Amino acid sequence: MQPSASPTVIDSRSVVALLSRLRSVAGQADPLPLYAGLREMGDVVPAPWGGYLVTGHRACDEVLRSPDWLALDHAWRARQPDDSRWSTPSSRELEQTLVALNPPEHTRVRRSVNTIFDRGTLEALRPKVRRVANTLLDTLIEQAGDGDADFAELVGEQMPVATVGHWLGVPPEDFDLLRSLTHAQAYAQELLPVKRQLRAADEAIRGLRAYFTALVARRRAEPGDDVISGWLRAWDALEPDRDLADEQVYALAMFTVIASLETTSTLLSTMVWTLDRHPRQRAWLRAHPTALADAVEEVFRYDPPIAVTTRYASRDLMLAGTPIARGEVVHTMLASANHDPSLTPDAHAFDVTRRARHISFGGGIHYCIGAGLARLEASLLLEAILRRLPALRVTEPPTWEPRLAFRRITTMRVSVR
């Protein structure tokens, strides 16, 4: 790889100021100029707290795909200070999920669910997801009447939990609880969480553990033809210790829910908001429904729900001309990389007619297991909106939560007539 054009010395105060702006409500509402500011600092930018921010597409893609860069696993977290964020209960709980596993553990767990959200599963889910989309739009229409209603709450938040909840066999009366716990747990995966957020994440992870261990125990006692029972059978064949097998299934079920809910909910609202700001493209899509899949990919590229992921160097490495010592972390700025003009001409522009390229689902062995499901939900919801609600308009700009890694729209009011 060619050496980065980054300056040899970067003022840490400039980095702090830019990230502070990006984490604010205003920065989340309009992040593109701030992503551009990061890229202008270089492909690899020293982070004020240690480690590096990786801003360009080529360098981010290398980190995500190369086996030299590892997820923040138990071994790495155990080397961190006892009073660091990595010692919190919510952080430790994530150690056993796919997001924090490396080979061979990651390979073993991934193989146990190698058919998760494959083509057959997604096709079987399609009728249910379509019904969910239309039912939620019915509620939106009723609630909005001749005024407006909160799309984020009534549709964006509800569709992912209804979809994955149905797939896992979770009772609908538990959906609100899981949404609440998932939102709070996400703070454990933020780039720069504050103590208040970590306390909320710790409380949430205890709730998630209690819920999903009980769910697994019920399936163990009364196995059936459902996903969790199937995982139990798969792990019984892999792990002779039944308690350890149950623990693996708990981690899979919990991770599937938190990965599905937190990201897709914002993506669905972002999709509507972005198209609202581009009415000509929305009208073109209505006349060209075969382009829906490309439009969804462009939404993922333009405004991904996960903006940052983190890896550490397995050995001394060079990244875009910058030496990275063994054990040092790098934060891949996915949203910034998606807007790198070396990847996409006119990357700042939203264009549903392009064949979008992006790294919003990650890359390599940690490529998002739920990518197909997210695409299915977004495509079917967009198709239903264009067909049923041609007059849908955003009446108040979205309210964004001040975050860095996981973008989240909390409210977005729309009219439907």
Name every residue whose Cβ is closer than 8 Å to that of residue 203 and which is 6 or more positions away in sequence. Answer: 184
pLDDT grade for 290, boundaries at 50, 70 and 90 = very high
Helix orientation angle between 242-276 and 105-112, rounded to the nearest 10 degrees = 80
The answer to whether 279 touches 390, Cβ cutoff 8 Å, is no
**R_g over Cα of the chain:** 21
- Give per-residue pLDDT as tens, 49-105: 999 999 999 999 999 999 999 999 999 999 998 888 998 999 999 998 999 999 999
pLDDT on residue 6: 43
Diameter of the chain measured on Cα atoms: 62
Q: What is the pTM of this model?
A: 0.93
- Give per-residue pLDDT as tens, 114-131: 778 889 999 999 999 999
Distances (CA, A) of 192 to 86, 123, 132, 361: 12, 39, 35, 21
Give the Cα separation of 188 and 363 in Å (integer).
Answer: 22
Report the length, in residues, of the chain.
Answer: 417
Rounded (5°) CA angle 357-362-364: 105
Name every residue whose Cβ is closer than 8 Å to that of residue 214 and which is 6 or more positions away in sequence. Answer: none
Ranges of beta strands (E only) in 85-178 are 149-150
- Give per-residue pLDDT as tens, 309-364: 999 999 999 999 999 999 999 999 999 999 999 999 899 999 999 999 999 999 99
Distances (CA, A) of 125 to 13, 120, 122, 162, 255: 49, 9, 5, 12, 19
Name every residue whose Cβ is closer than 8 Å to that of residue 366 and which is 6 or more positions away in sequence. Answer: 64, 71, 98, 99, 106
Does pLDDT of 279 surpass 90? Answer: yes
Q: How many CA within 13 A on the CB side of residue 27? A: 18
Decide which of 46 and 82 is more confident.
46
pLDDT, the chain, mean = 93
- Amino acid at the residue 140: L
Name every residue whose Cβ is closer than 8 Å to that of residue 44 and which is 6 or more positions away in sequence. Answer: 4, 6, 52, 53, 54, 55, 59, 319, 320, 321, 322, 324, 330
